[in-house]
Amino acid sequence: MTRIAVIGAGSWGTSASWLLGGKGHDVSLWAREPEIAEGINTTHHNPQFMSDITLPDCVVASHDIERVLDGAEAVVMVTPSVGVRTTAESMKPFLGEDVPVVILSKGVENGTLMLMTEVLEDVLGNRERLAGLSGPNHAEEVGKGVPSATVVAGYDPDVARLFQDIFMTRFFRVYTNRDVVGVELCGASKNVIAVAAGMSDGLGYGDNTKATLMTRGLAEMSRLGHAMGANPLTYMGLAGVGDLIATCTSKNSRNRGLGEFIGRGGTLDGYRAQTNMVAEGAFACIAVEELGLRLGVELPITRQVRAVLYEGCPIEAGEEALLGREARDELHGLGLVDD
């Protein structure tokens, strides 16, 4: 049994706590809202997220981050990407310098363009104790024991193996990977492609269109990874094509749902008001495109998602911009053909 602090009591944080608690770990769950912590401790249910999950008795929640981190042997961060830096700053005074930390949040920080483990290193130091977990892991399924798999990427192989052991169950298979950059970039950029896939659904297009968006989306994800030194095989794995399939096709996908809402004439603000959920692709389209611009990498789908969400571009114009692009070799930008 390990004492684990889970930071973030949203859908994924709740499912992760259920999984870890079910393995017999002593789980201390931090909730930003005091009423959520109180509800969990009183009823063993999160009153706002994943409320149908019954949390084990070994999962105890608190609004006090110092209390949650007290005695923690490992930390699991599951806050939205936009809140990772401020949450890490709150954690820093109460977290030992060598306590391993794995982050399940998927994104690139706007402004700094740092990956999530880079943000943690910037705030907490000691990157060797940091890891990222990513894959086709919808919280709604993990929290019901639906068979799933994921990948943990760590700067130190021992830390990756530690979290592999902490999370591994019969229904939740955990693999390791040394490619932290690739795994984290996959997690951020696939959310943008899922928004585009949802827009296709909202417009009433079919399987051909979605498959085209997914595969060409994977191509631009891979181009960005290639420019940042990621292992191309990572994009063929769980964090890449695996998560892309799940996020672009599932009814549980917030990012696909946001795109569908937009495709049917809705707005970003309207989606937020209706769902009270964070669709990470709405943030990632800005930071991922800025990464591409910095590195001179062409990201046409990401460009149009950002234009539609934030620049007043009609969705039909975004569609035309993609369909009207010049013909290219399928593998351009990957260093495999003459561009």
Annotated catalytic residues are 190
DSSP category for residue 240: I
Contact of 182 with 235, CB cutoff 8 Å: yes
Beta bridge pairs of residue 26: 3
In our burial notation (b when 16+ CB lie closer than 10 A, e otherwise), range 208-232 reads ebbeebbebbbbbbbbbbbbeebbe
Question: β-strand 130-134 against 148-154: which pairing, if any?
Answer: antiparallel
Compute φ and ψ for 113, nearest 5 degrees: 60, 30
Where are the alpha helices (H) located in the chain, listed in sequence order? Answer: 11-22, 34-43, 65-69, 84-91, 116-124, 139-142, 157-167, 180-202, 207-227, 243-249, 254-263, 268-275, 280-295, 300-310, 315-323
Q: Which pair of structure tokens corresponds to residue 180?
A: 């932290």
- Helix 84-91, helix 116-124: angle, nearest 10: 30
| Separation CA 93–CA 211 (nearest Å) | 47
